[in-house]
Structure 1
Amino acid sequence: MVKKLGIFGGTFNPIHMGHLIVAEMARQECDLEKVLFIPAASPPHKSDKSVSCPNHRFRMTELAIESNPYFKASDIELKREGKSYTIDTLKNLREIYPKEYEFWMIIGGDSLIEFDNWRNAKGIMELCNFAVYMRPYISIDKCMAQADKIRGQANSRVIFVQAPMIDISSTDIRRRVVQGKSIRYMVPDPVREYILEKRLFIN
């Protein structure tokens, strides 16, 4: 029997309500047994200076999802040195999870449009399917065209998740913390309390 595993990677700097809503919608629509939240150690598209300590980001992820039995935090990328490339993570996960697990990567429409620029995009298509959520201001036509292209190049399935487009960004949350403004309801309460306790993003 096929088991579906959701894979949701990101910087999660910090993780916020938008991430959680998307993951829950994808879990239901794709009938995922579990969703792995995988904080990136060193994202190839972001400077190290803009990314908080991996341990803090992982702990915030744990706190954010602790009440959902279908969600699990994974430190698979944090344990690996160097840049965090999706193809490497998928290969690592395939060594951990048996063949009856079908991988579903949860990505934003903006990432889908740029998918051709990912390292070993062809290899990624051979290892997983895609659950795509739309972001505000992203071209639906470009997303649909890229989805058709992926479907034509591999056996990968591409599903568009019907999730509300919530315009919350980690960048805005960090900015609000620096300015002393409230982030209540933008992040789960345990995450908000952790940020304030550890004085994250202030320095």
Structure 2
Amino acid sequence: MTFCVALLGGSFDPVHHGHVALAELFGALLRPDQLRILPAGRPWQKSGLQASDADRVAMLELAFRDLPFAVTIDLQEIERERPTYTVETLRALRAELGPAASIVFLMGADQLMKLDTWREWRTLFALANLGVAARPGYDLAREALPEAVAQELSGRLATPDEVRTAPYGKVCLAHTLAVDISATRIREALRLGADASALVKAQVLDYIQQHNLYKTT
């Protein structure tokens, strides 16, 4: 049986219910042998991070500790200490896991809409599969996607079982995720002292409050 690793990257500043819901959705669809969480070090498309690397990793460990499959926090992008690009990370993981493993990079529909702005984005399909989840306000229909992205996806769409057994090059679209949460919204709520309990796990919120995170912009 093919070894399957699902990858979830992001700033996780902070990790929230949307991240966990995405992981749980594809966990149920793909039944991966491992979920690997990849906190970004210096994401090139975003401004500076507010929480420290150590705090973001600690929150990730709290948020993902109860999932029904193995979870690993992969620190390679943090340890790179320079702007991080997904294509580099996938090359490193492919070298680590070998040519036969199924690598599935998870993302939301909002990321798919701008996939053609990523460095060497077409190369991603030669390194991994994609698992893309719908988000409110983003349409996964072909005509809603940038033309270059739609053309690249053409012929790659596959069932979860097909993605799970393919090393790379397939795309699974999941239309059932209806969580619309952003880290920006959470940070603003925390800065204002508003209730954020519906947005992040209780143990993560406790950590944020105990460490006095996100009190200022």
Structure-2-length-normalised TM-score: 0.85
Deviations 1:29-48 (Å, cap 9, x if unpaired)?
12322211111011111112
Task: Give the equivalent residue in structure 1 for 2:151.
Answer: 149
Task: Give the equivalent residue in structure 1 for 2:115.
Answer: 115
Cα distance change on mapping 1:76 and 1:157 into 2, 3 Å: same
Alignment of 1:25-44 (within 5 A): 25-44=25-44
User: Does 1:68 find its partner at 2:67?
Assistant: yes
Task: Give the equivalent residue in structure 1 for 2:89.
Answer: 89
C-alpha distance in 2 between matches for 1:148 and 1:45 = 22
C-alpha distance in 2 between matches for 1:98 and 1:63 = 30
Task: Give the equivalent residue in structure 2 for 1:163.
Answer: 176
C-alpha distance in 1 between matches for 2:211 and 2:92 = 32
Q: Can you give the 5+ residue segments of structure 1 that lack an aligned partner in the other structure?
A: none
Q: Report the count of equivalent residues.
A: 202
Q: Can you give the 5+ residue segments of structure 2 that lack an aligned partner in the other structure?
A: 157-167
Report the secondary structure of 1:79's partner residue: helix
Report the secondary structure of 2:106's partner residue: strand
C-alpha distance in 2 between matches for 1:34 and 1:99 = 17
Moved more, 147-156 or 179-188: 147-156
User: Does 1:182 find its partner at 2:182?
Assistant: no
Instruction: Quote the offset at 1:125 in angstroms.
Output: 1.2
Contact preservation (8 Å) 2:125, 2:170: no
Structure 2 letter corresponding to 1:129 = N
Instruction: Quote the offset at 1:122 in angstroms.
Output: 2.1
Structure-1-length-normalised TM-score: 0.91
Instruction: Quote the offset at 1:168 in angstroms.
Output: 1.5
Instruction: Quote the offset at 1:148 in angstroms.
Output: 4.5
Instruction: Quote the offset at 1:59 in angstroms.
Output: 1.2
Moved more, 168-177 or 94-103: 94-103
Moved more, 26-35 or 188-197: 26-35
Cα distance change on mapping 1:82 and 1:116 into 2, 3 Å: same
Give the fraction of aligned pairs with identical amino acids, expressed as a percent. 27
C-alpha distance in 1 between matches for 2:39 and 2:150 = 29
Moved over 3 A (4+): 143-148, 151-155
